Amino acid sequence: MSSATLYLVIPCYNEQEVLPVTAPLFLNKLQELIAQGLCAGNSRILFVNDGSRDDTWRIIRELCAADEHFTGICLSRNRGHQNALLAGLMTARQSADVTISIDCDGQDDINAMDEMLRQFHDGCDVVYGVRSKRDTDTFFKRFTAESFYKLMKGLGVDSVYNHADYRLLSRRALDGLAQYREVNLFLRGMMPLVGFKSTSVYYERYERIAGESHYPLKKMLAFAFDGITSLSIKPIRLITALGLLISLAGFLAIIWAIVQAILGNVVAGWASTVCIVCFMGGIQLLCLGVIGEYVGKIYSEVKRRPRFIICESTDGSTPVKDN
């Protein structure tokens, strides 16, 4: 079992407060895994600096200089969590037999890695880290998160309930992921599409050790909408169904108006007219907005711009390119 080279892939954005606290925890965990024979001695912890504006990259370089188990890459600018994670995975793919992605904030239970690696050695290519409960979340966050997963399922997206980006991927799964070329990334929804044998490991999530969350409500909503529109076309189909229903209602209203006119029961009034116009205008703008979101994603995809650009690495190697 000890022949498997493990890379822990950790995206970082403005983590100068939490990184000095969690980096030693990750190192201790990696050394435990090596001692247990769950991974090889040349395993590494790969930090991905996502264009941080603080001292995150300086701290990463200092960590790498102090211990050979640390390594790091720096993106040319902030590209967002999903692109930074992908950059780390594709970089680790060059050397690793297996990767585990985890956030830097220390909320995910690092002890779940033991079982993840055992499942990997038992033949699983993908192991999802799944939250067993959401007691540490506020009611609003818990309600919105659970509603999001249910909505994704209702729209036909194959995702793992209560799973974020804490997961194990084998080299074979990484090779499969590399074949997906979308610019609009939603990795937790893409991994089930890759296939291969998978399982889940359940763990409890803790409070953030230090610093502040980089996912306020606005970003969470944008991320959720990106996930839906990147993996499902059902919203457009729902618009089609809504259009048919409104057209049917309009047709029935025309018949009713003609009948009332023949019977001489027509009463002039502006309130009903204004309500109908406002309702139809709102529906049209909503539908155009959803369609526009899909058109915008097509626009981003056809330009084929790189999803990430690595400008520097701590080991001086040639940075991987987003081909």
Top pLDDT among 216 and 159 is at 159
pLDDT single digits (tens) 281-297: 667 767 777 777 777 77
Q: How confident is the model at residue 206 (pLDDT cuts 50, 70, 90)?
A: confident
Per DSSP, helices labelled H in 94-180 are 112-121, 139-154, 171-178
**C-alpha span between 291 and 81 (Å, rounded):** 25
pLDDT at position 134 is: 64
Among 90-99, 136-145, 294-303, name the one with the lowest average pLDDT. Answer: 136-145
Q: What is the mean pLDDT of the chain?
A: 79
The β-bridge partners of 74 are 49, 312
Give mean pLDDT, residues 255-265: 66
Element housing 287 (H / E): helix 271-303
pLDDT single digits (tens) 38-90: 988 899 999 999 888 889 999 999 999 888 999 999 998 888 888 899 899 99
Give mean pLDDT, residues 118-127: 91
pLDDT at position 253 is: 66
pLDDT at position 320 is: 72
pLDDT single digits (tens) 9-34: 999 998 888 899 999 999 999 999 99
pLDDT at position 187 is: 79
Pairing, β 6-12 against β 98-101:
parallel
176 and 91 Cβ atoms separated by less than 8 Å:
no
pLDDT at position 157 is: 66
